[in-house]
Amino acid sequence: MGHLASNMAPLAALAGGAVIGLAATGLMLLLGQIAGISGMITGLLTPVAAEWPWRGSFIAGLLSGGLVWALIDPSVFGHIPRPLPLVAVAGLIVGYGVSTGGGCTSGHGVCGISRLSRRSIAATCTFMAFGIATATLWRVLVGAVR
Amino acid sequence: MLAAFACGLVFALGLGLSGMTHPGRILGFLDVFGTWDPTLVFTMAGAIGVHMPLYWLTVRRRAPVLAPRFALPTKRDLDAKLLGGSALFGVGWALGGFCPGPALVSVFGGRSDNFVFLIALVCGMALRKLGTVPAVAQAGRT
């Protein structure tokens, strides 16, 4: 076992998480939809037009939130500490993976676990386990993870 | 649709506040046996701690405020697609440090590596859909 990073920000993380939880609750209470971001993007790529307006609006909201952060505090964004070709491969794998697995950290992780969904709990344990295994392999074979 | 927009906006503010838009932080979280950064545990605890009780209160209603019914998944079986796809996602997550939400929110951060990740992410999803969409269209016709 290693040691803890020195630049943790547990309170901001807890508060940010609570805000995410509120946003997910808002979407369920108002529109009855699960806040699954990969499903929304994937949905916009498929010809089921009835779902486009709310999915498109949520994603426009996400992008606008990013614009707000860019204006008030661009330090929330960060560099990906990997060579560019690997960044592209990572993006492809994540896109293909979440489309196949039917969700990511938001839909399976936050919403699915809150709903006590068996599938989402299994999915979250799986991507956490494979993420940790990959990061560990990277450190052993390549060097510093970040 | 203003409701969905507002929820997306708040969601993005939460992602930024929690540190999820820093790929280095996510990579540090997944490096459990190295210099571990447990920040994401607090994000998940905050999100689930708030959403779980409020979700169960919400679905006691007959219907959502602005829609005729709740759209909830009914599948319960654990299949190869769910687990294989999630395993792939985990591998990609540990290589790039982004999941889909933070990748979208970071577009305005102005970093070319963030942008490359997002474009590749959408291509990966499209690649997956190329296999399934023609089948769905076919089924719709018959």
Instruction: List for chain B the helix, strand, coil content (%; round to 5).
Output: 70, 0, 25
CB contact under 8 A, A118 and B76: yes
Q: Where are the domains of chain A?
A: 3-141
Quote the pLDDT of residue A50: 80
Residue with tokens 């018959």: B142
Contacts of B81 in chain A (CB under 8 A): 100-102
pLDDT by position in tens, chain B (length 142): 899 999 999 999 999 999 999 999 999 999 999 989 999 999 999 999 999 999 999 999 999 999 999 999 999 999 999 999 999 999 999 999 999 999 999 999 989 999 999 999 999 999 998 876 555 555 544 4
Contacts of A4 in chain B (CB under 8 A): 35-38
Quote the pLDDT of residue A62: 97
Question: Could you say which of A13, A106, A119 has the minimum Cβ distance to residue B39?
Answer: A13
CB contact under 8 A, B43 and A26: no
Which chain A residue lies closest to B101 (C-alpha atoms)?
A37
CB contact under 8 A, B51 and A21: yes
CA distance A11 to A37: 24
CA distance A19 to B13: 8
Burial of A51 (0-12, 13-18, 19+ CB in 10 A): middle
CB contact under 8 A, B16 and A67: no
Instruction: List all residues 6 or more positions away from B125 whose beta carbon is below 8 Å from its beta carbon.
Output: A38, A41, A42, A45, A95, A96, A98, A99
Question: Could you say which of A4, A56, A88 has the minimum Cβ distance to residue B120?
Answer: A88
Phi first, then psi: give them for residue A85, nearest 5 degrees.
-60, -35
Give yes or no for a contact between B66 and A39, defined as CB atoms under 8 angstroms apart: no
Tell me what ipTM this predicted complex has. 0.94
Low-confidence ranges of chain A (pLDDT < 70): 1-2
